[in-house]
Structure 1
Amino acid sequence: PPRAHARLKSCLLFYRRHIPTLEIKRAKSWFQTNRIQVMEWPIQSPDLNPIENLWADIKNAVHEAKPRNAEELWNIVQLSWAAIPVDRCQKLVDSIYHRCEAVIRNRGYATKY
């Protein structure tokens, strides 16, 4: 719903992947103290993780360039990463709400993301 979308955009969310078990208690306390809402992500959920789109961009650049050695590979990865436009990253971040909606709508099954 539009109201939920506006609310989500106006609050601070912290996305985290795997926090080691020993640090969970301390991290939860810190988040609560600092009033930061934490969105839990399923462990295996590329649909929800925008960085996967950027990794795919890098992978495609490497595939197109066909590096012949490790040095060329490293250079292509670095150049490709540096060439990612800021607006591409912003669009991916902005898509998180829609990604979550799609996963809920599909009852956890794969989405277009």
Structure 2
Amino acid sequence: MMTSLHREKRVKWVRRFISKGDFFWNKVIFSDEKKFNLDGPDGNACYWHDLRKDERFFSKRQNGGATVMVWGAISPYGVSPLVFLNGNQNSGKYCETLDKALLPFSAEMYGEMENWVYQQDGASIHRSRFTRSWLNEKGVRTMDWPAKSPDLNIIENIWGIMARRVYLRQRQFDTIEQLKEVIEDVWATISGELLQKLYRSIPRRMLAVLDGQGRATKY
């Protein structure tokens, strides 16, 4: 639930960053984790869509099923390797994921550490002392991120598009291996054109937050 304090902090964050231009945002690597179920997405899947077209929603069976958790990141120039996460995650496992996937990806996209900034949400394993120490040791610069702000995190829109494509025509899966294969195939279809469109949407998102006095936006 978004409180008045959350809204206040979102507005302050936007006022801090709204003057940043494409040069700044194109250096930001956005990241997040996402859960996929064998039997469909959780509830109604949200995704970034052309407002001139009808939205699509996906239902989920009530009896549950096995799940797959993945970590991914994006830049305007491409997507990171997709990492399938095993078991309950902690700070150590999270940093292993970053070492295995984020650091090689950032080096390929940007070269030197000072050429990019890492975005992550406020999950406890992301902001733990262990993780902060690891990021500092590796020289990874992170940006402040307001709580309750998935509408500002453009990778959330990628996850929504992924769900639409993975579960096309309400598809369900019999095995984890089958689901993983489709997730990887769909991740590989994320185009540079789509990524650049999402990056260009960031100023509009921030204006929408200001217009709504910090409330959640249509994004």
TM-score by structure 2 length?
Answer: 0.40
Length, aligned pairs only? 102
Counterpart-to-counterpart distance in 1, 2:209 and 2:22 = 18
Letter in 1 for 2:176: A
Distance 1:45-1:7 versus aligned 2 partners, 3 A rule: closer
- The structural deviation recorded for 1:58 is 1.1
Q: Which has the higher strand share?
A: 2
Of the candidates 91, 95, 102, which is equivalent to residue 197 of structure 2? 91
CA contact (8 A) 1:41 1:48 kept: no
CA RMSD of the aligned region, Å? 2.9
Q: Which gives a bigger RCO, structure 1 or 2 (Cα 8 Å, sep 6+)?
A: 2
Letter in 1 for 2:184: Q
TM-score by structure 1 length?
Answer: 0.70
Partner of 1:20: 127
- The structural deviation recorded for 1:7 is 5.3
- The structural deviation recorded for 1:17 is 2.9
Counterpart-to-counterpart distance in 2, 1:9 and 1:84 = 21
SS in 2 for 1:101: helix
Partner of 1:58: 162
Query: Where do 5+ consecutive residues of structure 1 fail to align?
Result: none
Q: Which has the higher helix share?
A: 1
Query: Where do 5+ consecutive residues of structure 2 fail to align?
Result: 1-17, 29-116
Partner of 1:76: 182
Partner of 1:49: 153
Identity level (%)? 30
- The structural deviation recorded for 1:70 is 0.8
Partner of 2:212: 106
Counterpart-to-counterpart distance in 2, 1:7 and 1:20 = 24
Partner of 2:52: none
CA contact (8 A) 1:61 1:76 kept: no
- The structural deviation recorded for 1:10 is 3.7
Encode CA deviations 1:8-63: one digit per residue, 9 max, x unaligned: 22446644434525338x95xx79xxxx894x321221110100011011111222
Counterpart-to-counterpart distance in 1, 2:22 and 2:142 = 12
Letter in 2 for 1:50: I
Counterpart-to-counterpart distance in 2, 1:61 and 1:9 = 29
Distance 1:10-1:86 versus aligned 2 partners, 3 A rule: closer
Counterpart-to-counterpart distance in 1, 2:165 and 2:177 = 15
SS in 1 for 2:21: helix
Partner of 2:21: 8
- The structural deviation recorded for 1:98 is 1.0
